Amino acid sequence: MSKTSVVQIQNLLKQFPVGGDFFTALKDINLELEKAEFTGLVGPSGSGKTTLLNIIGGLDSPTEGNVDVLGMNLGSASHNERAALRRTQMGFIFQSYNLLPVYSVFENVELPLILNKVEPQERKQLVTQAVEWVGISDKIDSRPAMLSGGECQRTAIARAIVHQPALILADEPTANLDAENSHHIMKIMVRLNKELSTSFIFATHDEKIMDYLRRIIHLDDGQIANDEQIDQPKFDE
Ligand SMILES: Nc1ncnc2c1ncn2[C@@H]1O[C@H](COP(=O)(O)OP(=O)(O)OP(=O)(O)O)[C@@H](O)[C@H]1O
Ligand SMILES: [Mg+2]
């Protein structure tokens, strides 16, 4: 594993038990992602994007193969070691935001810091900063029900970045947003990528996201059909 390697996958096979049989969701996956890459997993519905993202995030385990993420071999790590890696070095963004409805924006964004046992004073500073990054400082005391979809996703991004993770995994982050909000969200992530060297992996079929990516990994039927470097993304801030 090279020094700047964020993800390294060798000979990955993922099968799900279905009835008395197995369904092969991913096979022959070999992949290396370097620090500060801005990469997308794209492909038709059912091609294995979410499955691969979940395996990289340590949320699901491969049937066969080797997966190293941020210097940790996920297969030989314990459940607690994987959880600690996620908590301290990874951020997750989902299509459905996954905000806690009874908490304010501040409290939702603060959660990862509480889990990481950050002191209250530093928490306040980091939350304020993350919320400012995504441009919703004026909504910091609002609850999710009072926010638009775009503002909810910005809150979710703030929560994913507040502990300054090395790697952010985003599964269809713009699926519930209109074009304008999708572009806003992507610009925030490009800026994070450039200024903090945060690595990003998206799973998406949204053309708008693809226009920002610098590497596109095409999945087809659980296999890598094409791995494309984009030297000049259409939108490059
Ligand atoms: N827990 C599971 N049990 C059985 N099959 C599963 C399971 N999870 C995923 N699959 C199957 O694996 C395949 C890949 O699913 P996955 O969710 O990774 O696709 P995707 O590329 O993310 O699709 P979409 O674009 O619709 O989100 C699909 O055929 C799906 O039905
Ligand atoms: Mg999916």
Cβ atoms of 6 and 38 within 8 Å: the answer is: no
Q: What is the mean pLDDT of residues 161-186?
A: 92
State yes or no: pLDDT of 2 exceeds 90: no
Residue bearing the bigger pLDDT, 1 or 226: 226
C-alpha–C-alpha distance, residues 4 and 197, integer Å: 11
- Cα(209) to ligand 2 centroid in Å equals 15
Index of the ligand 1 atom closest to the CA of residue 222? 14
Pocket mutation for ligand 1, best pick of 23, 174, 201, 209 (most atoms within 8 Å of C-beta): 23
Residue ranges and CATH numbers for the domains of the chain are 36-62+78-229 (3.40.50.300)
**What per-residue confidence (pLDDT) applies to 229?**
96
pLDDT digits (tens, 9 = 90+) for 42-80: 999 999 999 999 999 999 999 999 999 999 999 999 999
Q: Using CB atoms within 10 A of its CB, is residue 77 exposed (0-12), middle (13-18) or buried (19+)?
A: middle
- Cα(199) to ligand 1 centroid in Å equals 24
**What per-residue confidence (pLDDT) applies to 176?**
86
> Can you give the pTM of this predicted structure?
0.95
State yes or no: pLDDT of 211 exceeds 70: yes
Residue nearest to atom 17 of ligand 1 (CA): 50
Q: What is the mean pLDDT of residues 83-99?
A: 94
Index of the ligand 1 atom closest to the CA of residue 54? 18
C-alpha–C-alpha distance, residues 6 and 199, integer Å: 8
**Radius of gyration, CA atoms only, the chain:** 18
Q: Which residue in 124, 180, 119 sits closest to 151, CA to CA?
A: 180
Pocket mutation for ligand 1, best pick of 13, 14, 45 (most atoms within 8 Å of C-beta): 45
Pocket mutation for ligand 1, best pick of 51, 52, 219 (most atoms within 8 Å of C-beta): 51
Q: Which residue in 217, 188, 191, 192 sits closest to 202, CA to CA?
A: 217
**Ligand 1 pocket, residues with Cβ under 6 angstroms:** 16, 18, 23, 25, 43, 45-51, 203, 205
- b/e 157-185 (16+ beta carbons within 10 angstroms → b): bbbbbbbebbbbbbbbbbeebeeebbbbb
Q: How, if at all, do strands 72-73 and 5-18 pair?
A: unpaired
Cβ atoms of 92 and 112 within 8 Å: the answer is: no
